Amino acid sequence: MGDDNSAASQARRRYLLIALVFFGTVLSYVDRQVLALLKPTLEATFHWSDEDFAHLGSAFSLAMATSVLFSGWLVDRFGVRIAYGWAVAIWSLAGMAHAAAATVTQFVLARVTLALGESVSGPATVKATAQYLPLRERSFGLGIITTAPSIGAIMTPLVIPPVAVLFGWQSAFLLTGGLGVIWVFLWVVGTRHLRAPRAVSVAPAKAGVDWAALFSDRRTWAITGSKAMADMVWWFLLFWIPDLFSKVFGLSQAQIGGPVALTYAMAALGALASGGLFPMFLRKGLSFNAARKLSMLCFAVLILPLPLALFIGSPWAAAAIIGVALFAHNGFVTNIFGVTADIIPLQRVGTVTALSSVAGNLSGMGMIEFAGWSLTNGHGYWPMFAVASVAYLAATLFLHLVVPSIVPVHDMPGAAG
């Protein structure tokens, strides 16, 4: 037992926790991307139109939005270990249930259950980082974890279509769900003796959230609003990129994998780069406030050329342009997570992260539905790309207006409540 509580042992366990959160997030995004990549096969099976496909995606987002606030409360109430372990078990079984779907209704029910489980992922990720990593290591830890969606999105187009071709589309869902079951076992064993560092220890996880204080705090709305503007772009691109390469560039399902994988490989690089940009600005003498906001502004500017992807002849060049935008998205969102861990009292981190996920899923649902309407009515992809190109500048401005000066929570009098 003494060895379990030694500084070296606890440090290893903390980083094992981050590794498991990373791989759990990878699995969640593999589950989400499978649907988009198998769209041609599933369209033929379930007779979907573009609007039907959009409705299925928005049903997932709506389920996430309605459950994620409750999931944030679960994380704050029961702690990361219990809440996240049960969540992955639920979404893994739901993923496997897709293979048994015989009707569209059954398929939608499986997707909704998947969303209910995956809604815990965001609050658990930020809570784990805030609770188990010292302040000086959070940006790096968040940067590593934020690469997970991109790693999942890279792996999926390279692995899932061949598996589906060889063994049937049902096998893709059985594979990803089975990996989740294995992850749950590793989570239970690997986090049994984990302890929070004394520097970030707070009241027990069962302490309640002061809802009045949370909703009256400008910091809550700064995080929620900026995350909503960024997430609507991410969910739109995650759901529609394979279809875009098919419709705009005429690629077959076998040809789509390479360009899609390239876009998300660049997104993963963005998450890694974001972990170093903010500390670099601090080392150069910028204030905490200026370093965070300048980091966000740099990434926002990189997204402005996104509409050019629709007017270039090469699918690989288009993939590179979209990849730069996803690179910047992950960098931008990593900084939002960083701001959350920095300025939100630890007792509220899970709940505030959940609120921002609700807003992001609702805005993403709107963009997915907008895309379905635009494609069905012959307007193509350009309206969504135009909105996406300026969304991050708008999010940066919003954050600055609501919180003119970012101050770490431990430096603010009375901030722990």
Instruction: For residues 18 and 20, give the distance between their C-alpha atoms in angstroms, rounded to a whole number.
Output: 5
Q: Which amino acid is at 148?
A: A
Retrieve residue 98's tokens.
């897709």
pLDDT of res. 136? 65
pLDDT of res. 135? 66
pLDDT of res. 239? 86
Domain 2-191+211-408: which CATH class?
mainly alpha
pLDDT at 5 over 70: no
- The residue with greater pLDDT, 40 or 375, is 375
Confidence of residue 137 (pLDDT cuts 50, 70, 90): low
**What burial class does residue 304 get, using C-beta atoms within 10 Å of its C-beta: 0-12 exposed, 13-18 middle, 19+ buried?**
middle
Instruction: For residues 226 and 400, give the distance between their C-alpha atoms in angstroms, rounded to a whole number.
Output: 10
What is the pLDDT averaged over residues 146-160?
78
Is-contact 158 33, C-beta < 8 A? no
% residues pLDDT > 90 (the chain): 28
Retrieve residue 381's tokens.
């992809």
What is the pLDDT averaged over residues 173-189?
91
pLDDT tens figures, 385-395: 999 999 999 99
Instruction: For residues 414 and 395, give the distance between their C-alpha atoms in angstroms, rounded to a whole number.
Output: 28
- The residue with greater pLDDT, 272 or 340, is 340
**Angle, alpha carbons 385-154-150 (nearest 5°):** 65
Q: Which of 356, 160, 123 is CA-nearest to residue 242? A: 160
pLDDT of res. 400? 94
Q: Which helix (H) or strand (E) holds 262?
A: helix 253-283
pLDDT tens figures, 296-352: 999 999 999 999 999 998 999 999 999 999 999 988 988 898 888 888 887 788 788
Cα end-to-end span (Å), the chain:
33
Confidence of residue 196 (pLDDT cuts 50, 70, 90): low
Domain ranges in the chain are: 2-191+211-408
**Which of 75-89, 126-140, 152-166, 226-240 has the least mean pLDDT?**
126-140
Instruction: For residues 359 and 367, give the distance between their C-alpha atoms in angstroms, rounded to a whole number.
Output: 12
pLDDT of res. 206? 47
Is-contact 241 302, C-beta < 8 A? no
**Angle, alpha carbons 103-105-111 (nearest 5°):** 110
Confidence of residue 203 (pLDDT cuts 50, 70, 90): very low
pLDDT tens figures, 372-417: 999 989 999 999 999 999 999 999 999 999 989 888 775 554 444 4
Is-contact 173 101, C-beta < 8 A? no
User: Which of 77-86, 261-270, 314-323 holds the top average pLDDT?
Assistant: 314-323
Instruction: For residues 64 and 224, give the distance between their C-alpha atoms in angstroms, rounded to a whole number.
Output: 15
pLDDT of res. 53? 81
Helix H segments across 38-147?
Answer: 39-46, 50-78, 80-97, 104-118, 121-132, 135-146
CA 374 to chain centre: 25
Confidence of residue 200 (pLDDT cuts 50, 70, 90): very low
